[in-house]
Amino acid sequence: MSTATLTSATSSVEKRERMPTWGLLALGLLGFIAILTETLPAGLLPQIGSGLSVGDAQAGQLVTAYAIGSVAAAIPGAVLTRGWQRRTALLSAVLGFLLFNSLTALSDNYLVTLVARFMAGAAAGVTWSLVPVYARLMAPSGSEGRAMAIALVGTPLALSLGVPLGTLAGAVLGWRVPFFAMSGVALVLVGWILASVPDFPGSTDGRSRSVCRVLTIPGIGSILSVVFVWMFAHNILYTYVSPFLRFNGQEQDVAVVLLVFGAGALAGIWLIGLMVDRHLRHLVLGSLALFAVSSAVSILAGDVTAVTFGATFVWGATFGGAATLLQTASADTAGADADIAQSLIVTIWNSAIASGGVGGGLLLETLGPAAFAPSVAILAVLALVIARRASVHGFPKGRRA
């Protein structure tokens, strides 16, 4: 081994012995941009509709277009970019947000804006296929779960802080301003990634599995089933939290409830980050059990505000750590094909978001808001049963290998 090679190997080991916090936070900021880009239009539908001369229902399809773009691009994007240098693939996603958020902010044409949202969703599909795997590559051995929790911190921050602040800025300064701001943040992030995120080679061993073969890996099916059922249940309640609170006579508390949810999500991702490498299975089962309990409690809450806030905080905590738990389980199970497995999670996750919106809408129209909490509790229990049965593959007993 040459001196240069030895020096390089020693440097790599030294980097892996300490947590690369700044690099992981750069990944977290990318996730923040992705989540905020996805959810921001929901808070600005009247302003966007007025600006593009369409109704609220048509403006709402900007959220749908983003989700469809994520689903459409996740698997092909992972397959296409898996041979690229990892940082090149990561920067391509950042530049996608920079370009298509700028186009959204500049466009006066509804169809052009719809296409821009679809393409921004495609950038998100690539993002979520890359970020969890990248965090594991950067992590010290044995701390992959904690590294992933840091890299995914942008999700609860976007929900708890980004969406309220972006909605306020859009209402005061115009709906285009937050999209320009996100483009500016993406530009800053390019420099941050170049300065703090190490590069890694893509997969060149020629042994990668097809998507269909990855689906046959023992445990992957169970993990994907839990992802879908859990996120389907979550999105029924989250998407229609406003009519649910109106049914309970708490319509005036919507903003506070969402803030409490965001605070719970931050607490959840922090706690999960501390314990995921030692207790992944117990944390998955515990989170699903608490999600079911919080849903059941909300049935009994009525108009008792304190009970609603408490149940919402617990619900937020279980959601905050969900991505870390599920993506850690997926990456552990898939091994060398973790990038393909992550793309499957992105596809299933976004399908659950869309399904939650449709399913919740059907419940609202047929049975009314009273059906939300019991339906969510039943689905949470179903996900718990699936996870509990996957004790050998998927969510195995004992400390992570």
Residue type, 199: D
**Spatial separation of the C-alpha atoms in residues 18 and 397, rounded to whole Å:** 27
Degrees, nearest 5: CA angle 127-131-137: 145
- Helix H or strand E encompassing 83: none
Of 101, 257, 108, 282, the C-alpha closest to 183 is 101
SS3 content of the chain, % helix, strand, coil (to 5): 85, 0, 15
Is pLDDT larger for residue 12 or for residue 44? 44
Residues 304-317 pLDDT 10s: 778 888 888 999 99
At 289 the pLDDT is 95
Give Cα separations from 128 to 108, 173, 342, 350 (angstroms): 29, 30, 7, 11
- C-alpha 227/C-alpha 352 separation (Å) is 8
Q: Name residue 326's amino acid.
A: L
- Tell me, what's the pLDDT at 150? 85
| Secondary structure of 264-283 as H, E, C letters | HHHHHHHHHHHHHHHHHHHH
Which domains, and CATH codes, for the chain? 21-196 (1.20.1250.20), 211-389 (1.20.1250.20)
Check residue 206 and give its pLDDT: 47
State CA 152 to chain mean position distance. 8
**Rounded to the nearest 5°, which phi and psi values hold at 83?**
-90, -10
- Residue 21: pLDDT band with limits 50, 70, 90: confident
What is the pTM (predicted TM-score) of this model? 0.74
Q: According to the model, what pLDDT value does residue 339 have?
A: 73
Residue 275 CA to its chain's centroid (Å):
20
Looking at residue 15, what is its pLDDT? 46
Chain centre distance of CA 387: 20
Cα–Cα dist 66/280, whole Å: 31
> Which has more confidence, 219 or 252?
219
Q: How confident is the model at residue 70 (pLDDT cuts 50, 70, 90)?
A: confident
CB-CB contact of 257 with 238 (8 Å): no
Using a pLDDT cut of 70, give the percent of the chain over it: 88
| Mean pLDDT value across residues 107-123 | 94
For 86-90, what is the mean pLDDT? 91
Q: What's the whole-number mean pLDDT along residues 360-386?
A: 88
Query: Looking at this protein, which amino acid is placed at residue 337?
Result: D
Output the pLDDT for position 236.
83
| 342 sits in which H/E element | helix 338-366
Average pLDDT of the segment spanning 134-160: 81
Sequence-ordered list of residues with C-beta below 8 angstroms from that of 311, at least 6 positions apart, any chain: 294, 295, 297, 298, 301
- Please say if the pLDDT value at position 382 is more than 50: yes
Which tens digit of pLDDT belongs to each residue from 237-260? 877 777 777 777 766 666 677 778
pLDDT at 34 over 90: yes
In the structure encoding, which two tokens stand for residue 146, read together? 């904690």
